[in-house]
Amino acid sequence: MNEPKEPVKNPRRGLFAAGLAGAVAAVAALYVIAGPNGNIAGAHSCSAALASASAAKPFAKGDVAAFLPASAPLNLEELTFNGPDDTPVTMADFKDKTVLLNLWATWCAPCRAEMPALDELQADLGNDSFEVVAVSLDRGGPGKPKDFLQEIGVNHLTFYQDSSNGLLKDLRKMARATGLPTTILISPDGCEIGTMYGPAEWASGEAKALIQSAMGKKGA
Contacts of 113 (CB under 8 A, 6+ apart): 199
In a domain, 17, yes or no: no
Question: Tell me, what CATH number does 102's domain have?
Answer: 3.40.30.10
Nearest CA to 193 among 11, 68, 81, 20? Answer: 68
pTM over 0.85: no
Contacts of 176 (CB under 8 A, 6+ apart): 74, 182, 184, 192, 195
In a domain, 156, yes or no: yes
In a domain, 10, yes or no: no
In a domain, 53, yes or no: yes
Give per-residue pLDDT as tens, 114-150: 999 999 999 999 999 999 999 999 998 899 999 999 9
C-alpha 57/C-alpha 65 separation (Å) is 10
In a domain, 14, yes or no: no
Give per-residue pLDDT as tens, 192-217: 999 999 999 999 999 999 999 999 98
Name beta bridge partners: 34.
40
C-alpha distances in Å from residue 176, one per residue of 59, 73, 88, 142: 21, 12, 21, 24
Domains contained in the chain, number: 1
In a domain, 163, yes or no: yes
In a domain, 178, yes or no: yes
State the DSSP code for 217. -
In a domain, 76, yes or no: yes
Parent domain of 120: 46-214
